[in-house]
Structure 1
Amino acid sequence: MKKAYQIYSIITSFGMLLVLLMGAIVTKTDSGDGCGNSWPLCYGQLLPTQPKLETIIEVSHRAVSAWLGILVIILAIWAWRREPHKKEIKILAFISVFFIVLQGLLGAAAVIWSQSSLILASHFGFSLVSFASVLMLAILSFEDWDKPYIATVSRSFKKNIYWLFIYMYLVVYTGALVRHTGSAMGCSDDFPLCNGSLIPEFTKQASIHYLHRTAAFILFIWILYSWYHARKHYRDQKVLNKGFQFALLFIFLQAASGSLIVISNLNLFVALSHGLIISFLFGTLSFIALIVYRKKIT
């Protein structure tokens, strides 16, 4: 049964990643209104006849999200019953279900009633939390009883990791806000400058875009510092150091893909890679926060 659980958790993790990418496609292609204000049906039909491209994209996203919701619920129940003695398993199982249901309800509300960009931007963040919790369940299924994934660090560095994780979620939110306010080209095609200036004239779109750039740069420096600190003071903590190595790699790739979005004038594949990399980075920092939180396997 352990092997089956591991395979199922991996499949569900990839499925959640697919949901994230499909959600990004819906936003990037402006397909959110592909079914009008009808939900859960599409224009009052289960499968609309002669659908437009945006309708196909929206219906596909709804169908995949619904199936993944079922898969996540099954995974959560399976994980809870399989390892009821692990507190973190129960927490992750609850979070995975709670946030996938919440993002589904938020998506439905966005279809039926118009929502502000501030509310819509939280949709991606909720999906990301559910993905990360499912990913953690999958990773923990591979740990050995005698070698659990735990990192022992100082209280100050543990707080640093927690605050880094929280800050990254805020950075993700600013990125989603850029997407939902149409501010991806708020600095035109300038990089690293913004509309030809280091500090631009702050129109609405330029302000949102510049805020995200600045927040992302701070995140880059913060992860670089944390990687260096872990490497210097916790060289013997192999899992911790490996986690920060991946975090550093992903933040480099994230910065590169972010600049390419501007330079390529919103190329769809580059934009999707940006969303994919941030998902990997969020999952990595989630894992780091988890292993410093854990004290022992009971």
Structure 2
Amino acid sequence: MQYKVLKWLSYASCVIMLLVSFNGVVVTRTGSGLECGREFPLCHGKFVPGTTIGSLIEYTHRLTAGIAGLLALVTLIAFLLWARKRRDFQIYAGVMFLFVVVQAIMGALAVVFSQSAPIMALHFGFALIAFASALVLALSVRRAGNLEARQEPPAEHRMSKRARNLTVFSAVFTYAVVYTGALVSHTELAKFAVVLHIASAMLLVLVLLLGHMAIRDYGQISDIRKLGIIVVALIIALPLSGVLNLVVLGSEYYMFAPMLHTLITDFLFAFLCFMSIRAWELSRIPAGEKSSVGLKKAVRA
């Protein structure tokens, strides 16, 4: 019973964090950031906003962020109580809670004081970390449950430190590119756009190299191979969604394209984070040693 609660809490957290990110895109694209005035948490002095579309969009974003914060807190407490032997799960839940709270505070400060470009970019970047933490938690819980169902964890093959470092660097570099992209969307400065295009091209090559290495050199490790395929598919889709943004600019589909671009970006960074964690684990394990601990055994009876 406790295992099922933890599993579904991790899944629900992942979904709500993604909704927060989506709502943020809608707020930015519609220019609804100040539709509730410079007040927080009230909207023009009321708990329930007016009937204007802009105020409803902004208030929905605030409401979703609030629900995300409460769910993250409940998830953290549940893992602290019921998965005491899985310190890694507790860390993922803690990071998720920390960053969803931080990004909410930054969003509130941006409304009350000013919506400067660096603050809004950080607001998006912290929301991205919160989602990545939620997805890492959900994937880790799912993996632990699958290992438990098999009774015995499979023998793990060691990954080299070089492969591990490339994976971690790819995740960090992806975050840097995403932050630059968020900064460009809020400033529209040409010099930042040039930097973004160069960085995006480098990221494309880097992730393609990482995916090729994961599939060719570590294809015997099932989850590393699958993660390699996923990140390659996402990095190919990312520039295509960027082109779609330009194609539909000014049309009735202008909201769909940035949401798709954000979806791909969020999942790319999150899967790279999970891949980095797995690469770190595998780089520290002698070949053939069984490293994973099933979640059900770690849950307090």
Report TM bin, short chain.
Answer: 0.7 to 0.9
Q: Which runs of 5+ in 2 are unaligned?
A: 285-290, 294-301
CA distance in structure 2 between the partners assigned to 1:87 and 1:4 by the alignment: 18
Deviations 1:36-66 (A, max 9, x none): 10111111111134x3211110001111110
**Aligned residue among 132, 150, 164 for 2:170:** 164
CA distance in structure 2 between the partners assigned to 1:109 and 1:249 by the alignment: 37
Higher helix fraction (1 or 2): 2
- Structure scoring higher RCO (CA < 8 A, sep ≥ 6) equals 2
The answer to whether the 8 A contact 2:211-2:229 is kept is yes
Q: Which moved further from structure 2: 258-267 or 170-179?
A: 258-267
CA distance in structure 1 between the partners assigned to 2:95 and 2:156 by the alignment: 21
CA distance in structure 1 between the partners assigned to 2:156 and 2:80 by the alignment: 20
The answer to whether the 8 A contact 1:79-1:89 is kept is yes
121 and 283 in structure 1: CA distance in 2 versus 1, 3 angstrom threshold: same
Q: Does 1:61 align with 2:61?
A: yes
Q: Which moved further from structure 2: 168-177 or 230-239?
A: 230-239
Tell me the SS of whatever aligns to 1:39: coil
CA distance in structure 1 between the partners assigned to 2:108 and 2:31 by the alignment: 16
148 and 76 in structure 1: CA distance in 2 versus 1, 3 angstrom threshold: farther
The alignment's TM-score, normalised by the length of structure 2, stands at 0.86
Deviation (angstroms), 1:4: 2.9
Aligned 1:142-157 pairs, distance under 5 A:
142=142, 143=144, 144-145=147-148, 146-147=152-153, 152-157=158-163
Deviations 1:216-256 (A, max 9, x none): 11111001111112222222122111101100101111110
Aligned 1:209-220 pairs, distance under 5 A:
209-220=193-204
275 and 149 in structure 1: CA distance in 2 versus 1, 3 angstrom threshold: farther
CA distance in structure 2 between the partners assigned to 1:60 and 1:116 by the alignment: 22
Aligned residue in 1 for 2:120 = 120
CA distance in structure 2 between the partners assigned to 1:46 and 1:57 by the alignment: 14
Amino acid at match of 2:231: A
Tell me the SS of whatever aligns to 2:46: coil
CA distance in structure 1 between the partners assigned to 2:230 and 2:106 by the alignment: 32
The answer to whether the 8 A contact 2:49-2:59 is kept is no
- How many residue pairs get matched? 275
The alignment's TM-score, normalised by the length of structure 1, stands at 0.87
Q: Which runs of 5+ in 1 are unaligned?
A: 184-204
Aligned residue in 1 for 2:287 = none
